[in-house]
Structure 1
Amino acid sequence: MTNTKENEHRKAYLIGGGIASLSAAVFMIRDGHVKGKNITILEERRVNGGSLDGSGTEEMGYVIRGGRMLNEPTYECTWSMLDCIPSLDRPGISVKQEIQQFSSEHPTHSKARVVDASRHIVDVEHMQFSNQDRLDIGKLLVASEESLGTERIKDWFEPEFFETNFWYMWATMFAFQPWHSLVEFKRYMIRFMHEFPRINTLEGVARTPYNQYDSIVLPVQTWLQEQGVRYDNNIRVTDIVFRAGIAEKTVERIIYERDGVEASMEVAAEDLVFFTNGSMTEASDLGTMQQAPKLGQKGSSFRLWEKLASTQTDFGNPSSFADHIEGSKWESFTVTCTDPLFFDFMESFTDNVAGSGGLVTFKDSNWLMSIVLAHQPHFRNQPEHIQVFWGYGLFPDRVGNYVDKKMSDCTGEEVLQELMGHLKFNAEQVQKMLSTSNCIPCMMPFITSQFMPRAIGDRPQVVPQGSTNFAFLGQYTELPEDVVFTVEYSVRSAQTAVYQLLHLDMEIPAVYHGRHHVKVLWDSLTTMIR
């Protein structure tokens, strides 16, 4: 174990300002006794938080590109990190306790998880599995990842599987597509086995008081700032230079651009460098009520990873994730309402007050559209008379049922018209909704890129073999058994990187194994046959 006194003089550079980097900074200060003033977070955007975002005003409209499900109590690394972060709103308790209290005060129990073309709430207690589906699931759970290789979900299951209640709920809860990685689907089935019996009500979902930027990123960032951590925004890292002529992987210089001017910073051998390789929200683009969003291409995070991977054989294969936009994109939208019409209608229709339900999925939607009404206010600066909800479509290149355009070509106004068509709004309601709402669509080319089929080695180890001061962070690293597209995966990668590079003799919480619990196994089995 490293003498933590030595760590007080180390410097650390974190490339990317998402939750992985923020968490790594927390672990370095809390557990490694690295001085906050010696930690610098380098972020290209003007704000930190990565995919955990949330911003806007009443006048301009509010935006969240997406929301990450928090699972209680199985996100052990996340809860451990948040347990040392003070709440900004409830003095004397941590962010972990704040989220737990809020979730207890506002429990989830969806009563309208799936809606059909006739606007009828579908009874989704039954999974609709065939005997072949059950057999295929059983075989998948015992298959090795090595044997599955780069197979896709649709390579394993019969076509009818993708028309079951289970698939509509699973696909929209986690954003899986039939062409996504079978290995990742298997990991999810095991990781969330305890959620399987309540997938129709989403009772296991923990909620944050506000959006995840306001409720998680802001308090973490505030605490880090109080410890002296430096945020260097509007800076784009273009290369990481390793010391030549030695067997180990040791970073000696970081090259970056600021305002179009290239510069570099030296890195001492005892200093640390963490790089969040890839981004699920890279190149996202926002539309307006009158304009559709544009489809972007690879940006600095993926391109830097590509540059590094071209020089090191064990730095992964970014192409598996970044070069398949057609399979990884979908579109979300955030709606700011100045009139209670929509919330009043949805609360009456679903029998769920805002914040007590979950995703409402329109199963017959060509876009496979879902929406969710969070507890209000959903933003810290949201006035009392404003209400905000979020939604998305998994098939943005399909023509709508009510709007004769692909979702990707639709303005915010047209996205709202499609939604109101599924809800059977009358002409008066449609007109009122359009005149009192601001719908901001968001195209995300890489949002499920981490789900694309991959081979062993496509995701680099958090700390590559032979690395002395360098680690990868985030969704495109390899962590055995855990699942991407979760806050937990980013936080676990951060804890792993910090503990390994600082040689801390401290235990990282094991990934939760529901299949080792008799009750979980029994409940899952009875769910499969109900």
Structure 2
Amino acid sequence: MTESISNTPRSRPRAYLVGGGIAALASAAYLIRDGGFAGQDIQILEETTRPGGSLDGTGDGDEGYVIRGGRMFTYEAYTCTFDLLSFIPSLGNPGNSVKDEIIRFNNEHVSHSRARLVAQGQRLDASDLKLSNRDRLDLIEIMTRTESSLGIQRIEEVFEPTFFTSNFWFMWSTTFAFQPWHSAVEMKRYLQRFIQELPRIHTLAGVRRTPFNQYDSIVRPLVQWLEAQGVQMVTGARVVDLDFRYGPRGKAAETIHYVEEGARRQLPIRDEDLVFITNGSMTAASSFGSMTSPARLEGVDRGPSWTLWETLAAKNADFGHPEVFTRNIDESKWLSFTVTLDNPVFFDLMEAFTGNTAGTGGLVTLVDSSWLMSIVLAHQPHFLDQPEGIQVFWGYGLFVDQEGDFVKKKMSDCTGEELLIELLGHLGFMAQKTEVLAAANCIPCMMPYITSQFMPRAKGDRPEIRPVGTVNLAFIGQYCEMPDDVVFTVEYSVRSAQISVYSLLGLEKAVSPLYKGQTDPLVVFAAAKALVR
């Protein structure tokens, strides 16, 4: 529902959230539950036509479905996320929470991959991590080094070249979308945050999934609850700048400048009001292809979240350095694809090949693919409105500028049909090519900044949630700085929401605990055993 931004007099504090992604939605929820805000005193300003940000899912059975990315959850590491979902009613069963719904679903559909890695059309023994003793020592060393000592080093600078041909790396990099040139600090954080997953990395048994795509399972019920509380979802409002005033208490946001229906407008901010800004977007400048056309690379117009951040950073060095994350598209891009099928032949082939029913296997990675292609078959239906007889799966490739092994073109230049031909060739399903292609609608999606948050960075490149001296302003989302936690997760965005709300309101309430398995001797022992198997 779209509301107009209100400039009418008011007596109570108001909160303005710039951007409508999961970080902003979570912030609004915590303002209500823990901050005592009335919903009508919260406005979410979103430039697009609907909230959700990168946590999206759209389409239909006729035109094809699109999911730009897929997300995995773990009970141990996602404490903030599951806290949020514990008080949001399920769409299908309002007597239960979304958290209840996810737990029930995962109890009924247990993850245990039998085909995590595939080469030459055959399943590999992924339990053999194929790590050398040097690789094991390097893994231990990076986990124990300080972030300051790692600095802006890349992952490839702290491991031997052979590490990047190990089964461990194939699984680790595709599970989390790491590239060798990404930040060693981010790699260290991931190893610590997900150390409990090392013994089961080859089966993905620790992964938890939502009953449907994350837009339908998380965003829709959250938005419905917020709107029921009176929160105003203002779409079509592009925030372009903020003015600040300076005083003895520090700097405070004074005016929000935004564009609505082509007109530039101003929104005054009072002393008691709060402003939350989502700076940067991993899915900005996304472009889509079709069965007959590739998804062309874009990125010149990075969109409102990046340009606003650049504008604010030019005013104050404490607001970070967005150019660190946007200046090298070739190292932050990759391509995903969503396939809609009206014939079960492909799912039948995959279930027979992998030994997993759809929704229990997780990622299948083709290690001999020049694109390092992976796919995942979710439990069906994957969309709330998905018609009977329609099936949907998702995949992506990390090396989009490499020439394919069956289709002699760069992945980035391939149509949806060509992506499917390459996939069928690696799986050994070419005999069924005609039947699969006739049933398929494959939509490619190119994302220039999808792993930009992994780019090597220094202290200060990401702004603190509460930059030094700010009074009523917080940064939230994937490009603010939080010690120890890991970006490219829903958890990071929700944790930023909790911290920002509790901090700005001065609440004496603890943020959901950060899981630190590296301090548990039993977890460390199990991880060590896994690395030497």
Q: TM-score range by the shorter chain?
A: over 0.9
Matched, 1:420 2:420: no
Alignment of 1:275-294 (within 5 A): 275-294=277-296
Match of 2:469 in 1: 466
Alignment of 1:48-447 (within 5 A): 48-116=51-119, 118-244=120-246, 248-297=250-299, 298-427=302-431, 429-447=432-450
Matched, 1:521 2:524: yes
Matched, 1:495 2:481: no
Which residue identity lines up with residue 94 of structure 1 in the other structure?
A: S
Shift of 1:83: 0.5
Shift of 1:455: 0.3
Shift of 1:90: 2.1
* 1:175-222 deviations in Å (ceiling 9; x for gaps): 000000000000000000000110000011111010000000000000
CA distance in 2, matches of 1:517, 1:412: 46
Match of 1:4 in 2: none
Shift of 1:247: 6.1
Shift of 1:8: 8.7
Which residue identity lines up with residue 181 of structure 1 in the other structure?
A: S
Q: Does the 8 Å contact 2:130/2:168 carry over to 1?
A: yes
Which residue identity lines up with residue 70 of structure 2 in the other structure?
A: G
Which residue identity lines up with residue 195 of structure 1 in the other structure?
A: E
Shift of 1:290: 1.1
Which residue identity lines up with residue 34 of structure 2 in the other structure?
A: D
Shift of 1:74: 2.3
CA distance in 1, matches of 2:399, 2:353: 25
223-232 or 122-131, larger mean C-alpha shift: 122-131
Shift of 1:259: 2.6
Shift of 1:492: 0.2
505-514 or 15-24, larger mean C-alpha shift: 505-514
Q: Does the 8 Å contact 1:78/1:491 carry over to 2?
A: yes
Which residue identity lines up with residue 180 of structure 1 in the other structure?
A: H
* 1:34-71 deviations in Å (ceiling 9; x for gaps): 11001011111111111110111111100000012111
Shift of 1:445: 0.4
CA distance in 1, matches of 2:36, 2:272: 15
Match of 2:48 in 1: 45
Which residue identity lines up with residue 361 of structure 1 in the other structure?
A: T
Match of 2:7 in 1: none
Which residue identity lines up with residue 220 of structure 1 in the other structure?
A: L
Identity of aligned residues (%): 56
CA distance in 2, matches of 1:142, 1:171: 20
Q: Secondary structure at the match of 1:365?
A: coil
Q: Does the 8 Å contact 1:8/1:34 carry over to 2?
A: no
Which residue identity lines up with residue 151 of structure 1 in the other structure?
A: Q
4+ residue runs of structure 1 moved beyond 6 angstroms?
A: none
Which residue identity lines up with residue 238 of structure 1 in the other structure?
A: V
CA distance in 2, matches of 1:289, 1:46: 26
CA distance in 2, matches of 1:46, 1:294: 23
Shift of 1:251: 0.7
Which residue identity lines up with residue 476 of structure 2 in the other structure?
A: L
Q: CA RMSD in A?
A: 1.2
70-79 or 369-378, larger mean C-alpha shift: 70-79
TM-score by length of 1: 0.97
Match of 1:17 in 2: 20
CA distance in 1, matches of 2:20, 2:175: 26
Shift of 1:91: 3.5
Q: Secondary structure at the match of 2:371?
A: coil
Q: Does the 8 Å contact 2:335/2:400 carry over to 1?
A: yes
CA distance in 2, matches of 1:402, 1:246: 66
Which residue identity lines up with residue 188 of structure 1 in the other structure?
A: Y
131-140 or 383-392, larger mean C-alpha shift: 131-140
Which residue identity lines up with residue 255 of structure 2 in the other structure?
A: R
Shift of 1:25: 0.2
Q: Secondary structure at the match of 1:37?
A: helix
Which residue identity lines up with residue 261 of structure 2 in the other structure?
A: D
Aligned length: 522
Q: Does the 8 Å contact 1:115/1:361 carry over to 2?
A: yes
CA distance in 1, matches of 2:11, 2:66: 39
